[in-house]
Structure 1
Amino acid sequence: MELLHTIILTVHIIAGLSVIGFVLIQHGKGADMGAAFGSGASGSLFGATGSANFLSRVTAVLAAVFFVTSLGLSYIATSRPKVSGSVMDSAPVQAVPAAPVQTPAAPDSKAKDIPK
């Protein structure tokens, strides 16, 4: 179970960082005006509109992977057995030798001399 948790956590972190990266790479809606003045969008690897479709699809797939791993991690965290009680329940018990209780002898007092 620990290995599965580690694998899901690793995929979760990679998917989260990838979503951040792909969102930052994408052009916003205001990027069309910049492309009109020669920003080079038409000469990209995927064509003038191909990169928008590719990046948005990859971002959507990575977001879905991120959500699924989030659900998996939450399920693993809540499926562990709950341990009730306190920490002192699992502490080792040490036997303490019983010492004989001795009452101190009453010193001679003048209470005996008081008449009743």
Structure 2
Amino acid sequence: MLYEVLLVAYLIVALLLIGFVLIQQGKGADMGASFGAGGSNTVFGSSGSGNFMTRTTAILATLFFFISLTIGSMTANTDKEVDSFQNIDIPVQDVQPAEPLPMSDIPNVGTPVDELETSDVPATEDEPESSDEPN
């Protein structure tokens, strides 16, 4: 139960961390604002956005690493089920080939093979018979 809760929390923290990193301004964004680009007007004020975003990113990153280490330590001591193909301790059983059936046990389906047509294309009545002599 705890493992599933940690996985959900891990997913939420990872998505929030990605979102906060993408929202943040780069280091060169203040340079444009100082020359009148108007980028300094933010929702949190000119200096408040940096502190809020930086702290939130740091907290989310810390949670992300903590949950990662917790999930890793929970799954590190579990034994995996061994697949039958990976277990080489059990020897393979010797299988005897099946004996062929005697000819008298093969059922007769009717028409012998010699009497069957060998062509897959049906013959049409309109075609003239071909001759071996060239024209």
Question: In structure 2, do the counterparts of structure 1 residues 18 and 79 end up closer, same or farther at CA, with 3 Å as the change threshold?
Answer: same
Larger Rg: 2
Question: Is the CA contact (8 Å cut-off) linking 2:32 and 2:39 kept in structure 1?
Answer: no
1:52 maps to what in 2?
50
Task: Pick closer, same or farther for the CA change 1:83–1:47 going to 2, 3 Å.
Answer: closer
Aligned position for 2:71: 73
Q: Whose relative contact order is higher, 1 or 2, with alpha carbons under 8 Å and at least 6 apart?
A: 1
Q: 1:22 to 1:84 in 2, by over 3 A?
A: closer
Structure 1 unaligned segments of length 5 or more: list them.
90-116
**Matched residue type, 1:38:** A
Deviation at 1:83, TM superposition (A): 5.7
Deviations 1:31-81 (A, max 9, x none): 01222333342x32221011001000000000000001001110111132x
Q: TM-score, normalised by structure 1?
A: 0.63
TM-score, normalised with respect to structure 2? 0.55
Match of 2:8 in 1: 10
RMSD (CA atoms): 2.2
Query: What residue in structure 1 maps to residue 37 of structure 2?
Result: 38
Tell me, which stretches of 5 or more residues in structure 2 are unaligned? Answer: 88-135
Give the direction of change, closer, same or farther, for the CA distance of 1:70–1:44 in structure 2 (3 Å limit).
Answer: same
2:16–2:60 Cα contact (<8 Å) kept: yes
Instruction: Give, in whole Å, the separation in 2 of the partners of 1:60 and 1:85.
Output: 41
Letter in 2 for 1:74: G
Distance in 1 between the 2:50 and 2:24 partners? Answer: 7
Q: Residue 72 of structure 1: SS of its match in structure 2?
A: helix
CA 1:44–1:84 in structure 2 vs 1: closer, same or farther (change >3 Å)? closer
